[in-house]
Structure formats: structure tokens, C-alpha cells
Chains A and B, each alone.
Chain A
Amino acid sequence: MARRGGGSRHTRHSRTRLTRREFLAITAGGAAGAIFVPLATEGAVDAAVAQPAAARPTGAYGPTQTVVVVHDISDAVSLDPQRAYEFASTAADRWMYATLVRFRTGDLTRVYPEVAHAWDVSKDARTYTFRLRQGVKFASGNPLTAADVLFTFQRVVNIPKDPASWLITQMGINAENVDEVVTAPDTHTVVVALPKPFSPGAFLAIMANPVAGIVDSRAVKAHMRSGDLGSTWLNDHSAGAAPYELVQWTRLVTIELSANPNYNLGPAPAIKRIVWPNIMESTVQRDMLLRGDADIAEGLSASQLAALRENPRISIAQTPDLSMTYLGMDVKNVPAFGKVQARQAVKWAVDYQGIIRDLLAGNGIPLQGIIPKGLFGYDASLPYHHDPAKAKALLGEAGYPNGFTVELLTSTGQAAGGISAADLAAKVKNDLAAVGITVNVRQVASDELYSTYRAQKAQMVLAQWSVDYPDPDDFAKPFGDYTQKSLAWRLQWYDDPLAKLVQHAGILENTPGRAVLYRKINQIEAQDGPFAMLYQPMVSLAASKRIQHLRFDPVNGIDFAALMKT
């Protein structure tokens, strides 16, 4: 879920200005002796450590122990791990809350022990028994026991209006049954007995997600307010067992973590302080990086990255994101798209290479299957290429020799890979015009785009989909199983045999048999599906050369525990 990079899934609303209170906080922060650190857009961040009065321990950490990552963090709604569902909040929570299991940076094919040192899966793949390590401590010094894991599950299903809760509730765990489903036979054993079959790979992957980040039940219970289960308190305090703890979150200004002195799940990290100032403009991000005020920039555009490649003081690191940018065709709202030949015509009409080479400047790679590179079930084959003649012939077969007209909905913001959605839509419009399909591009705010799309009222959309948890089922379901009421359903494409196939593949473990099923699913999608996959974006970081051992992946984000700075 905590994928980073150019995608806009979590960028639900772009905020262009600060509230009055925040503006006052920034401008008056130092003078008032408040805890606000004026990081906005200028001034050396390292210098800002030396703030008055508030006497945070972080002041003790020098520049080589501090990493400043510039990104747009305005999407953060809550830092409570059980309800965090945005880039910025999940990226921070991952470093404050330990989970039963976790993925190692760079290896998203299996989970490794974290708080649980071992686990058993029952034959029917519905009962999971986790054995917890002895002696694990929260940042408060409280011991981590099975009671904390139970409390964590109870929070997810009981917090009202929780955008992340579906990750857990989709497995059949809810407020009514959580006490029977998740139990603790002793202080260091947790048993999860799922009420219905669910993919074991997906289950363990979700256990590695911040939504399952284990909270210190004693600390949180002491700060619960009428029905909030401590959620409000967790916006300004952390209560986890991971290497870092929260220093402060000032909405739209900064998120700051410092090393957890009681961390005992691994070696103490060299980096003692992580600061994410909210920098929404990519040009400002780049300038801060070049001035040395930031160590890592996460949101640079494709063209800015291309220009920085020449800079000897900057390194660019890239990895394929677990996401894709696609065209969706509604098979009912547009009669032509009801014909498979017309859908194929669109797939032959797109100039994929042109998009990747000219628009993305290399900040994306080809992808035509429904499972991105980096996951089990990925299919590297590219059945379609730019062939306008073939597209025209297929349109003739579909009964539309003179083409047709369609409205393409796209967002006013960014497309994945650091390019503007408008530029990409213009390219698609040109490519489709060349085969006789007239595209009227309608740019709307992403909120409106998704409202229309989810209501099955779109004709054609240009959109992105990205990982929630690294299992192929997380992609096959939305793209293939219409009963999930996700992407296939939104485009009114109801394929029952495919839905059954997806459901069957979902509950298997990563065996060769499962790979065969995903190959089949990919083939059906390529042949018949209402999706024209355009590309898989890259996650690209630009970093100062002072940063060493920069490792990251699209699920874990930057591995701060491995990072060094000179």
C-alpha cells in the first residue's frame, strides 16, 4: 500500500495553500518558542534543529544523523497506523510500528519474521498461528505481548470511517466476530482463524502492512476519548515497536521522527532523525536538493530527473513501481466498446514506445499484463504494438469503419511517472485520431473522475491502479473479478468464467499451478479485456551523493534502517 512515486491514488485532493493557523504557526513559530520548526521552503533544515525551549531530544542529532526527504505530504489524513491509507502517513507509520511479519527491502516475493519469529498455516489455509518473540519492547518500554496484537485487530474493525479497514475486513474479520477470529492462547501466541478462505500470500502480505502495525495497548488505552480508540492521540504521538518514534506531525508542514531508544527488534539505525517537510512543488524539491537543504527528493518530474542525471553531486535511483497507467473502456456506455474488435483496435492504435520514450523519458517501462513486474504472476509478453493499419481493419470488422466518438475522462493532476495527465491524454487522443476514433478529452478533478467511474458513468478513463499489498490477487481481483465491484465492474465488463478463475487463483499459494492460472488470466485480459495497459511507471528518487546505501522498493519505501550519510 505504501507505494510512493508518481501515482495519484492517494493524492485525493491537492491543497494549494495553508490554513491561516498553519501560516501563523510557521511565521511565528520560532518567536513564540513553539514546537513548530519553520521548514516551509527555505532556510537550512539542519540549522532548524537548533530550536528553542521545546527541548526535543532530536536537537542532539547532527547533520549526518539526519535525513531530510522532500515530498508532497499533504495527503496525510491520520498517522494512526490502523487508519493511515495515504502515501505520507503509511511511509511514516512503517518506521514507527512493527508488524508480525515484514517484507525485506527489494524482496517482495515472501515475508520474513519481525515480531513473530515463526508461524504455522493450517492445511485449509484459514488458521494462522503466530509465535511472538520474547522481550520485544515498545518505545514506551512496555513489553509487546499477544494482548497488543489483539487490541490492534480490534482497533482496525472498530474505528469508524476508517479508509484502511477494508484491507482487514475483506478477509471476513469484523467488529462482531473479531474476538472469536483473533485469539491469544497464551501471552506470546496469536491465532487468526479466518471465517472464509482467503489467499495465504495476501493474508501474510496484509499482516506486513501498516494497517496491522502493532500498537502499545497500554499507552493507547490511557488516551482513548469517546469512541475514538485513541486515534486522535496517535496523530501526535506514536506507540509502536519499530526503529523510530514520532516527534511531531504538523499538518501540511512536516512529519518528523527520531530514533526509538527502546528499539530491540534489530540493530539501531545510523540515521537518528527523519524529516519529511511538505514540499508540494517539484521545482522547490529540486532546488532544496541542489542547495543541500534536502537529502532525497521523491516527487521530481520525468524531465527534471532526466536533467539531474548529468549532475555529479546527485544520484538517481529507480525501481519499477507496483502500479500501472491504463485506458479503461466502458463496454455498455459506448456501444463500439461492446465489440471486442473495437477494444483490440484501441490496443493496436496506441504508440506505447512513443509514450515511454518521449513523454516519460525512460521513467516507465512497457507493461501489457494486469500484474506489474516485480510480483508473482507477472507476464513479460507484449502482445500489442503500435499498428494503426491493424487497428483500422479491426474497427471495420467491429462495424465502425469510419470510427466513432468517445469522451475520455482524465484527471487535472499528474499521471504516474512524473508527467501531466493532460499530456498523456493528448498523446492518446492523437494516436486514436490516426485510426478514426475521435476522443474528446474531459479533464476533471480526480475526486470527480472517481465518482463518475465508480458510478459506472464513464465512457473511457485514463487512470492508474497501484498495489495495496504485494500479491497478484491484489491486481487480478480488481481487473478480472467483476463481483468485487472494482475496475472490471466499473466498466460493466462482466466475465463469469474469468471471475471464477481469478477467485480460484486467489486462494492458492505461489505454486507453478498458480502461475499457469495467472498466465491464462493475462491472456484473457489482453484478448478481451476493456483495459489498454499503457505502461508501468518507475519510482525514482534523486539523492545527494552524501547518502549511502540508498535502498528502496515500492512497498517498503526507503530503507531508513540501512541508510548512511557522510
Chain B
Amino acid sequence: MSRFLIRRGLLALFVVFGVTLVTFVISHVVPADPVVAYLGDHAPPSLVAQVRAQLGLDRPLPEQYLIYLDQLSHGNLGISIMDQRPVGAL
């Protein structure tokens, strides 16, 4: 029985890992740039670059993924850029 639980537990870990990876990849392959979506049509490229850096979206993808996992493990889902509220509260 305990072996079964351990096996299922380990399996669940893999599933959770896989789900986070899939979610992360999906959010990066959609054609719309989230920074442009947030700032709209008029913002000059300098502001786009500044906000991209403030959001950490200018860093390499693996690094962004690790940050995401780290924050997630602390229960931090981040702040919605569309309405500035913590995602966990939505």
C-alpha cells in the first residue's frame, strides 16, 4: 500500500511538472506579445523594452521558467498585468 502511495506520489510530481511546463510553453508560443497587449498601440518601443525588462520577459526562456517554478512553489501566481491584481485572488 505505501509503495503504491509513493509511486502515485512520484507520478503526481511528474504530472505537475509536466502541466507547468505545458502552461509555460503555451503562454510563450501564442502570437501576441503580452507586453504589447498590455501597453497598447501607442507606447514607444523604449517603453515596451523597459516594461519587458521590468516583467523579466527579456530573460532567456529557461531562466523565466525556473523563476516561474520558484514563485509557484511559494504559492505566488504573480500579478495580472491586465488588472494589476494578484492572480491568486481572482
A485 to B43, CA, bound (A): 10
Asked if residues A486 and B44 are in contact (CB atoms below 8 Å), the reply is: yes
Residues from chain A with a CB closer than 8 A to the CB of B54 are 160-161
Q: Interface of chain A, helix or strand or loop or mixed? A: loop
With contacts A19-B90, A251-B83 taken as known, whether A451 is within 8 angstroms of B41 at the C-beta atoms is no
Asked if residues A78 and B84 are in contact (CB atoms below 8 Å), the reply is: yes
A21 at the interface (CB under 8 A from B): yes
A448 to B41, CA, bound (A): 11
Asked if residues A166 and B36 are in contact (CB atoms below 8 Å), the reply is: no
Interface string of B38-76 (1 = CB under 8 A from A): 111111111110010011000000000000000000000
With contacts A9-B42, A19-B90, A251-B83 taken as known, whether A451 is within 8 angstroms of B36 at the C-beta atoms is yes
With contacts A9-B40, A9-B42, A486-B44 taken as known, whether A448 is within 8 angstroms of B31 at the C-beta atoms is yes
A193 at the interface (CB under 8 A from B): no
Asked if residues B47 and A165 are in contact (CB atoms below 8 Å), the reply is: yes
Residues from chain A with a CB closer than 8 A to the CB of B37 are 12-13, 447, 450-451
For chain B, the bracket of interface size reads: 20 to 34
Q: Which residue on chain A has the smallest CB distance to residue B30?
A: A448
A19 to B87, CA, bound (A): 11
A10 at the interface (CB under 8 A from B): yes
- Number of interchain pairs (Cβ within 8 Å): 76
Interface string of A203-232 (1 = CB under 8 A from B): 000000000000000000000000000011
Asked if residues A445 and B32 are in contact (CB atoms below 8 Å), the reply is: yes
A443 at the interface (CB under 8 A from B): no
With contacts A448-B32, A451-B33 taken as known, whether A163 is within 8 angstroms of B38 at the C-beta atoms is yes
B82 at the interface (CB under 8 A from A): yes
Contact check: which of A20, A163, A444, A452 meets B43 at CB < 8 Å? A163
With contacts A170-B44, A450-B36 taken as known, whether A235 is within 8 angstroms of B90 at the C-beta atoms is no
Residues from chain A with a CB closer than 8 A to the CB of B84 are 77-78, 231-232, 235
Asked if residues B32 and A485 are in contact (CB atoms below 8 Å), the reply is: no
Asked if residues B38 and A12 are in contact (CB atoms below 8 Å), the reply is: yes
Residues from chain A with a CB closer than 8 A to the CB of B40 are 9-10, 12, 85, 163, 450
Asked if residues B31 and A444 are in contact (CB atoms below 8 Å), the reply is: yes
Contact check: which of A20, A454, A484 meets B36 at CB < 8 Å? A454
Residues from chain A with a CB closer than 8 A to the CB of B32 are 445, 447-448, 451
A473 at the interface (CB under 8 A from B): no
Asked if residues A169 and B47 are in contact (CB atoms below 8 Å), the reply is: yes
Asked if residues A161 and B51 are in contact (CB atoms below 8 Å), the reply is: yes
Residues from chain A with a CB closer than 8 A to the CB of B90 are 19-21
With contacts A161-B55, A163-B38 taken as known, whether A485 is within 8 angstroms of B44 at the C-beta atoms is yes
13 contacts between A and B (CB under 8 A): A13-B37, A78-B84, A161-B51, A161-B55, A163-B38, A163-B40, A170-B44, A251-B85, A448-B32, A451-B36, A454-B45, A485-B45, A486-B42
Q: Interface of B with A (CB < 8 Å)?
A: 31-33, 36-48, 51, 54-55, 81-85, 89-90
Q: Identify 19 new A-B residue pairs, CB closer than 8 A, beyond the known A161-B55, A451-B31.
A: A19-B90, A21-B89, A77-B84, A161-B38, A163-B43, A163-B47, A163-B51, A166-B43, A166-B46, A231-B84, A232-B84, A251-B83, A447-B33, A450-B37, A450-B41, A451-B36, A452-B31, A478-B42, A486-B42
